[in-house]
Amino acid sequence: MDILLIILGALCLLTGLAGCILPMLPGPPLAYAGLLLLHFTERVQFSVSQLLAWLGIVVVIQVLDYFVPLLGAKYSGSSK
């Protein structure tokens, strides 16, 4: 079971890394899902505070990823 979780976690991490370049993939949530999958194995353990800190970072990044282009368009004078 650990091998399957490690493979799925690595695939999620690599897909999350690709999501940093490809706009159609949500990179940070996929990478966080990979971390969670790796956490459930016996080989890799993260503390709860580490997981919560990374979750907070992912949420902030996702919110900024949505609002920063809107604010940039607003202040550059684009139309609706």
**Could you report the per-residue pLDDT of 5-63, keeping only the tens digit for each?**
999 999 999 999 999 889 899 999 999 999 999 999 998 889 999 999 999 999 999 99
Query: What pLDDT is attached to residue 46?
Result: 92
Query: What pLDDT is attached to residue 64?
Result: 92
Question: If we measure between CA atoms, which residue out of 20, 44, 45, 43 comes closest to residue 31?
Answer: 20
Query: What pLDDT is attached to residue 75?
Result: 84
Two tokens, residue 26? 């949500």
- Judge whether 15 and 30 are in contact, CB under 8 Å: yes
Nearest-angstrom CA–CA distance, 35 and 9 = 6
Query: What pLDDT is attached to residue 69?
Result: 86
Query: What pLDDT is attached to residue 80?
Result: 66
